[in-house]
Structure 1
Amino acid sequence: MASVLQNAGDETTCFRITHSNLKHHFNEMRFSLHSTVGATKERLWKNCGTAVDSMLLQLFDDNDKKIADMSEDSRPLGFYSPYDGYRIHILDLDPSSVTAGGWLEDTSLVEKFSISEDAYDKLDDTVRKFKERLISQNPSMSRPKITDDYMEDLAVNIKVGDRCEVDPGGKRGVVMFVGRAETLAPGFWVGVQYDEPIGKHDGMVKGKHYFSCPPLQGVMLRPDRVKVGDFPERDPFEEEEI
């Protein structure tokens, strides 16, 4: 009994597809019941590689009982009264077929192309030379990858509780965090609470709280932008000299 029966007006059927030389099952494919066996072979050829002239299609029901050899190319699929879930099995009759031997699925059987370093260097338009041209145009691309110890030598001189000034701009505040930040790029970071609401957050960065401070007074910076020392809070009413 088919798993899904067509309605009387349904003119397409969904088949499972298997192949005599290929181990894996294809995705299910839907065909018009008006499509001929020959047209079905043409479509399957594009998916499996077996030549149309070397292909014999067999129809199985959803209990894997063979229904028929679909050997007449002019007959429509509807002639065989298939249901959704039926299986079309492709028999490849060509012993020298591209599907024979398993190499379409086992890449270890495919001969690999190799070339020496000297020969590769003499070629034009290689990926290596393309990268070299990019770096020559933009030397910053050759910068080494940032490591987990990036700027650690500067961070060791900064302590939580230190007063600080942040460049550029000379904004002042207090150090609230020093260390690596798992939600940010590798290396060391410094969390600062500004004296005024000129920051970006309350100490939470990308879902993780590194410190707590009032909203819009927190910021995370690289150590080279933070200078610690005697930096008292500025008097907000202090007027600039004219």
Structure 2
Amino acid sequence: MADVPLQVISENSTSERRITPSWSITQLKRKLEPITGIPPSSQRISLKTASKESIPIEAADEDVVLLSNFPLSTYAELHVIDTRPASAKLNFNDTSGVEKYIMPPEEYEKKSDSVLAWKKAEKLGRFNPDAPSLEKAKIDAFELEVRSRGIEVGKRCRVGGDDTRRGEVKYVGEVKEIPGSIGAWVGVQLDEPVGKNDGSIGGTRYWGTESTLKHGVFVRPERVEVGEWPVLNDLEDMEEI
């Protein structure tokens, strides 16, 4: 009889396998051990057919009973249950004890089928011959934005057009702690503690002293509007009671 493709399903794996009907149940269990990680003596196998009927694959003498005695059908599901107690099972999802391999940079650079090799071939990122000029253009654009908006340390401002996010410009320049960023950032100390930091980022302090209150935020120049933005007084418009 021809081999039958079945879906072998266990707790730790699912894969398509070709099953030979002339195998005995014992042979099947031996072949399933390297696939499922379950010893033959601890396997409980059932066959789920297209009609969703679950048929146990078992017999009094599994050495002689062949799989041809069961209704094997193409792409039926062969479920393999591990009958061992939880304490006896191997945890294949625990990788804490697995030694991790890190490829040396010089070896990675020699590979021809890596992302790095693809970037080199396509002249992307730092391999783009125009990259330096493009980077300078971005830096110049941010500097122009700073000048045209009149952004200077000490000036009052608001952030993102939000009238409730008023504050004072405390820093203008690069912030190397922000990954992948180039060009000028504007550090603003907000009047209210609704910022992302206290004036420091990535261990570098740009203004002020350490505080549990987060008044600080770093934004690009286009989000800063300099002007006469006094500190809001929430009680100013309240009527006397």
TM-score (ref. length: structure 2):
0.39
**Larger Cα-atom Rg:** 1
TM-score (ref. length: structure 1):
0.38
